[in-house]
Amino acid sequence: MKPWSNDEERLLRYFNYVEKTIRNIVIKASDDLRDKIEKIIDNAKRYYEDAKHYMNLRDYPTSYVCIAYCEGLLDALKLLNLVEVVER
């Protein structure tokens, strides 16, 4: 993979990864955890939208922070085996 030429290119690669993850995420946990997991996924989606907003404003540092929070929430759910990402 070649290095990124600028912040927007790098952020767009993060956005593509996160979009794919969110689109293909399946909750594996029991029903008693489902509501909490859905709230975490909703928070991740909000961070994702914030990241896009800040990129459009050319506020790249804030965009990176938002997309990193989003990815961290999704990764935590995967590491805890509460969700999986299914290729469709």
pLDDT tens digit sequence for 9-36? 899 999 999 999 999 999 998 888 999 9
Per-residue pLDDT tens for 32-88? 899 999 999 999 999 999 999 999 999 999 999 999 999 999 999 999 999 999 987
Q: What is the pTM of this model?
A: 0.88
- The 3-state DSSP composition of the chain as helix, strand, coil percent (nearest 5) reads 70, 5, 20
Phi, psi of 2 (to 5 degrees): -80, 155
Q: Which domains does the chain have, with CATH numbers?
A: 7-85 (1.20.1270.90)
- Each residue of 20-45: b (16+ CB within 10 Å) or e? ebeeebeeeeeeeeeeebeebbeebe
| Amino acid identity, position 56 | N
